């Protein structure tokens, strides 16, 4: 007899007590792993409070010129970028979290050798928003798509829940195993996805090769708040140009490792004597950090 099917299938979950090696391995094998209680209730409360005002000032929907991206961003969805500037708790505690940095090390030490932050944005999916189109995050680094499952790691997403994520309010949906498909033009179907059901404070880590998308919010009045902080190889250009955005007086208050992942220090990918430098010396010298 075959093994009983787990219905509905669930993503594996770990706690902060697991080693970063174990967490990354599970994420790579299955496609995604839930890290329970990544943030404390107190951190969730403070971040929510710090983003309330900038979020209220933002309209739902996207102002992007391309219709496809407007659809991708979500018509009843708010995307608050530049969280590094907006939230002190986020930049001082989440971005400086030991496990977050350990995950970065384990994710990138064998390929690119060094990593930085793609973006730090809050994604609030509002009632009535339909499911986001299924996609692989690595697709924005186009040459990697042709290498499909054989591509080195370009990006991995850590999505943190600032509210509960339920199937009804738009929990991120993923297709476990899609990282191993041969044809990356194939993004599967919504029926193949399962939701990452999270409690506020939990996180889900999934690689850039995994097919996923934000879920539909079919509730009458619930807002799903997620905080996405993808980690990417620093040989690739991030989405947010932090050095042109984050004020220097904020940068000076940050730890060296946080300064580095937002581009205020130089990068040392495998095989390189240093990138993102000034006069062949670390940017930190030039900036007097």
Site residues, Fe ion (CB under 5 A)? 137
Nearer residue to ligand AKG within complex by CB, 3 or 185: 185
- Interacting partner of 195 out of ligand AKG, Fe ion, none (Cβ under 5 to 8 A depending on kind): none
Interface with ligand AKG (CB under 6 A): 123, 132, 137, 172, 212-214, 226
Residue positions counted in the chain? 289
Nearer residue to ligand AKG within complex by CB, 72 or 181: 72
Nearer residue to ligand AKG within complex by CB, 91 or 212: 212
- Interacting partner of 214 out of Fe ion, ligand AKG, none (Cβ under 5 to 8 A depending on kind): ligand AKG
Shortest distance, position 59 Cβ to ligand AKG, whole Å: 17
- Interacting partner of 31 out of Fe ion, ligand AKG, none (Cβ under 5 to 8 A depending on kind): none
Nearer residue to ligand AKG within complex by CB, 86 or 212: 212
- Interacting partner of 202 out of ligand AKG, Fe ion, none (Cβ under 5 to 8 A depending on kind): none
Shortest distance, position 225 Cβ to Fe ion, whole Å: 16
Shortest distance, position 270 Cβ to ligand AKG, whole Å: 27
- Interacting partner of 123 out of Fe ion, ligand AKG, none (Cβ under 5 to 8 A depending on kind): ligand AKG
């Amino acid at each position: 007899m075959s093994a009983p099917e787990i219905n509905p299938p669930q993503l594996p979950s770990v706690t902060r007590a697991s080693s970063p090696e174990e967490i990354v391995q599970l994420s790579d094998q299955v496609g995604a792993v839930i890290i329970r209680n990544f943030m404390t209730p107190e951190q969730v409360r403070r971040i929510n409070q710090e983003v309330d005002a900038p979020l209220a000032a933002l309209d739902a929907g996207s102002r992007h010129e391309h219709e496809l991206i407007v659809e991708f961003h979500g018509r009843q969805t708010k995307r608050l970028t530049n969280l590094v500037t907006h939230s002190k708790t986020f930049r001082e505690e989440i971005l400086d979290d030991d496990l977050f940095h350990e995950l970065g090390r384990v994710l990138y030490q064998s390929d690119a050798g060094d990593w930085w932050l793609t973006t730090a944005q809050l994604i609030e999916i509002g009632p009535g928003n339909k499911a986001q189109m299924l996609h692989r995050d690595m697709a924005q680094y186009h040459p990697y798509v042709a290498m499909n499952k054989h591509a080195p790691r370009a990006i991995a997403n850590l999505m943190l829940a600032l509210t509960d994520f339920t199937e009804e309010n738009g929990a991120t949906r993923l297709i476990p195993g899609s990282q191993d498909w041969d044809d990356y033009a194939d993004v599967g179907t919504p029926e193949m996805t399962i939701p990452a059901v999270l409690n506020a404070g939990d996180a889900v880590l999934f690689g850039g090769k995994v097919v996923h998308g934000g879920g539909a919010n079919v509730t009458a009045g619930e807002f799903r708040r997620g905080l996405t902080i993808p980690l990417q190889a620093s040989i690739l250009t991030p989405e947010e140009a932090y050095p042109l955005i984050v004020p220097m007086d904020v940068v000076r208050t940050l730890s060296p490792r946080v300064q580095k992942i937002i581009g205020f220090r130089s990068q040392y990918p495998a095989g390189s004597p240093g990138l993102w430098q000034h006069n062949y010396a670390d940017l930190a010298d030039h900036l007097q950090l």
